[in-house]
Amino acid sequence: MDIQNARNRLTVPSNMEKYYYPLLWARGWRVRRSYDVGVRIASNSWGDTSRFYYDSMCEQADSYMWKHNDFLLLFAAGNEGENGWLHEVSVTRSMGSITPPSLAKNVLTVGAVYSDYMGIPNGKDFITYFSSRGNPDLSRWA
């Protein structure tokens, strides 16, 4: 599903659980929800780099996954780099460069690793310099 508008900008529906995750598809003039025809995986390579905390997009992703426990939402970790960002969340501080909705607790967030073809011995065991990193304060792998 393309969420890019006419100005080449990412346009995310305000209610992703209702208008995005059910992934509509058209066959002729008939529009159906992909979930209803057997789709159980959705891969997403986009995110919101203006925020580095759990937000409503994460909440909606978690809610959808909770209601559809046979579905898998995948999100790219992002390309914000290894240095991460520092963001104040109430009293606690969290470090990491993964952005919503990849921060959702019920989705699978995938980062980038080096490939062996790059000439790096065991490259697939190392995260690339540009891949976003997890948030250790959330006490889970990311």
- State the DSSP H helix or E strand holding residue 61, giving kind and residue range, or none if neither: helix 56-67
Measured distance CA(82)–CA(110) in Å, rounded: 14
Name the average pLDDT for the chain.
75
Which two structure tokens, joined as six digits, stand for 28? 């002729």
Which two structure tokens, joined as six digits, stand for 75? 């999100």
Tally of CB atoms within 10 A around 52:
24
Structure confidence at residue 44 (pLDDT): 87
Structure confidence at residue 33 (pLDDT): 74
Non-local (6+) Cβ contacts of 84 within 8 A are: 95, 96, 97, 132, 133
Structure confidence at residue 3 (pLDDT): 65
Q: Which DSSP category does 17 fall into?
A: H
Non-local (6+) Cβ contacts of 38 within 8 A are: none
User: Residue 142 pLDDT > 60, yes or no?
Assistant: no
pLDDT tens-digit readout, 48-86: 777 777 888 899 999 989 998 999 999 998 888 866 554
Please tell me the pTM assigned to this model: 0.73
User: Residue 89 pLDDT > 50, yes or no?
Assistant: no
At residue 119 the predicted structure's pLDDT band, cuts being 50, 70 and 90, is: confident
Structure confidence at residue 59 (pLDDT): 92
Q: Letter for the amino acid at 63?
A: S
Instruction: Identify the burial level of 135 via C-beta atoms within 10 angstroms of its C-beta, where 0-12 means exposed, 13-18 middle and 19 or more buried.
Output: buried
At residue 139 the predicted structure's pLDDT band, cuts being 50, 70 and 90, is: low
Structure confidence at residue 63 (pLDDT): 92
